[in-house]
Amino acid sequence: MNSGLKSAQVSEPLSLCVVGAGYVGLTAAACLAQLGHFVYCLEADSEKVSLLSQGEIPIYEPGLKELVEANLANQRLKFTCDPSQAIENATVGLLCVGTPPRFDGDPDLSQLSQAGRTLVQSSDHDLILVVKSTVPPGSCEALELIFQDTAEDRIRVNVCSNPEFLRESHAVWDFFNPDRIVLGVDEPSLVALDRLYPSDWPIIKTDRRSAELVKYASNAFLAIKISFANELADLCSKVGANAEVVLAGVGADQRIGSQFLKPGPGYGGSCLPKDISGFIAVGEAVNLDLQVASAARKVNTQRSEDIAQRIETVLGGLSNKKIALLGLSFKGGTDDTRYSPAIGLAEVLVEAGAEVVAYDPLANIFGKPIPFFRVESPYVAVEDADGLVIATDWEEFGKLDYQYIAKLMRGYDVFDLVSKTDSIKLGEAGLNLYGLGKGFSIESHSLLWTSLLWAM
Ligand code: UGA
């Protein structure tokens, strides 16, 4: 699945230290090693380090295992828990640790400052620390003060910004096919950073605050696009238009673009919900009410309730109804369930009295308690179900045997929130398909005709 650009190489490899072996850090470490750099990945969890050192990957990310194995074998990638070993030869450290949201929407930067201070304390040479985690503008400057304070006059520490734009489930492909690499550097003498990526890649070099804000603004804009698509799909339902066609028509305008205009159960994952809140918090910090972003967030927050209400209307209530739910991860192609809209919807349905039985091919619940049942087959999930909800866009959900599913279900209603099924196929099986922007009841509004009345 990965493009031939995986053969891209840097001309002057560096010794690097990547801190954190989560989704971002592990991908960055393996891909930077693949570019030719010598990478030590520093991770606090010793069990993880020992697994990774044997080529075992704790997350599901297509193409990543092969890259880790290849670069372990050629010794360009190593894992360790020991900061001194990780930083011994590296002049550049990449900080890839979490910046989870605090209660007020601001990101918690404590893991970042801890990671950087550990490197500074363990290093006997000057360091350039590159922040890949998503942070509000001004963070790199603040972190530099903290790190320089930790270093006293022993070594010099510069902090730069290089935000990550990789999507989970496409991270390796995205790394080798970047739309842009953003480097935020305020100190022109830091030439080592010019050697981080191949020089013919699309690099935008700018100041640190601008680089930091590119990341927030990109994720906020993606979230706004999705919320717009979701609202438009609802409008289509009300006026009897087909959302799929309308959104394809809108997206065909190159100024708008067709990506991230797919209606669904709302955006989830560890990034978009967190970053739109972070973006709004940045505005609040400077007394600016970012209304467009706030509205997009509100649309998303209400999504599960709105969808549950529509399901309730079609099924004539939710109390004691059995609902089969296909999909638990926050999108297809990943095992990640953080801020998953599918789980959010399941919780609302259970709260309203339904019994939910879920199936997902890969979702990792991370031992979190869930108020519903999880089974190992979609066909077990649908047994005696009054309704079937498809909430994650796994390819396999479009290829299920719906004739068989119709026989197993008690009811006939399928709520496909991710446009994976075919209405003709479902109709032939005797099932009713309710998609977003089509199928739910049409409520023509009298206002639509007022202009005609005026013309008569
Ligand atoms: C997102 C961004 O796309 C990446 O560029 C960024 O690097 C990453 O966050 C991050 O900040 O680390 P990711 O969280 O992996 O990537 O997921 P997306 O593919 O953006 O999807 C986010 C959510 O939006 C999912 O719940 C997905 O189902 C939903 N979505 C996406 C829609 O509902 N409609 C669409 O048209 C597209």
What string of DSSP letters covers 216-244? HHHHHHHHHHHHHHHHHHHHHHHHT--HH
Ligand 1 pocket member 159 (CB < 6 A): no
271 is catalytic: yes
Q: Ligand 1, residues 222, 340, 345: which to mutate, most atoms within 8 A of Cβ? A: 222
Evaluate whether 426 touches 399 at the Cβ level (below 8 Å).
no
Report DSSP letters for 338-372, one per residue: TT-HHHHHHHHHHHTT-EEEEE-SS-B-TT---SS
Q: What is the pLDDT of residue 5?
A: 58
Which residues are CB-contacts of 451 (< 8 A; sequence separation ≥ 6)?
none
Give the Cβ contact number of residue 241 at 10 Å: 16
Using 50 as the pLDDT threshold, list the residues of the chain that sit under it.
Answer: 1-2, 4, 442, 444
Hey, what are 371's tokens? 């108020």
Angle at 68 between CA 65 and CA 72, to 5 degrees: 140
Position in ligand 1 atom list of the atom nearest CA 270? 14
Contact yes or no for 90/15 (Cβ under 8 A)? yes
pTM: 0.94
pLDDT tens string 114-170: 999 999 999 999 999 999 999 999 999 999 999 999 999 999 999 999 999 999 999
Q: Is the CB of 133 under 6 A from ligand 1?
A: no
From CA 97, how far away is CA 64, in angstroms rounded? 18
Q: What is the pLDDT of residues 102-128, one digit of tens each?
A: 887 788 999 999 999 999 999 999 999
The residue type of 15 is: S
Would you say 436 and 263 are in contact if contact means Cβ atoms under 8 Å apart?
yes
Q: Which residues pair with 433 in a beta bridge?
A: 414
Beta-sheet pairing, 322-326 with 355-359: parallel
Half-sphere exposure of 328 (CA within 13 A, CB side): 26
Q: Going by CA atoms, what residue is nearest to atom 2 of ligand 1?
A: 167
295 contacts 223 by C-beta, under 8 angstroms: no
- Cβ of 392 below 6 Å from ligand 1: no
Residue nearest to atom 23 of ligand 1 (CA): 267
CB atoms inside a 10 Å sphere around CB 449: 10
Whose Cα sits closest to atom 24 in ligand 1? 267
Spatial CB neighbours of 314, under 8 Å, sequence gap ≥ 6: 387, 413, 415, 434, 440
Q: Which residue among the candidates 31, 140, 160, 271 is catalytic per the annotation?
A: 271
Cα separations in angstroms, 392 against 27, 362, 396: 24, 11, 10
pLDDT for 450 equals 54
Candidates 142, 288, 128; CA nearest to 212 is 142
Residue 94 Cα to ligand 1 middle (Å): 23
Question: Does the Cβ of 163 fall within 6 Å of ligand 1?
Answer: no
**Within 10 A of 66 (CB to CB), how many other CB atoms are there?**
16
pLDDT of residue 187: 86
Atom of ligand 1 nearest to the CA of 219: 2
Ligand 1 midpoint to CA 153 (Å): 43
Q: What is the pLDDT of residues 354-391, one digit of tens each?
A: 999 999 999 998 888 899 999 999 999 999 999 999 99
Contact 298, 278 (CB under 8 A): no
pLDDT at 238: 86
In angstroms, rounded to a whole number, what is the distance separating the alpha carbons of residues 333 and 343? 16
Which amino acid residue places its CA nearest to atom 19 of ligand 1? Answer: 167
Give me 442's structure tokens.
């049409």
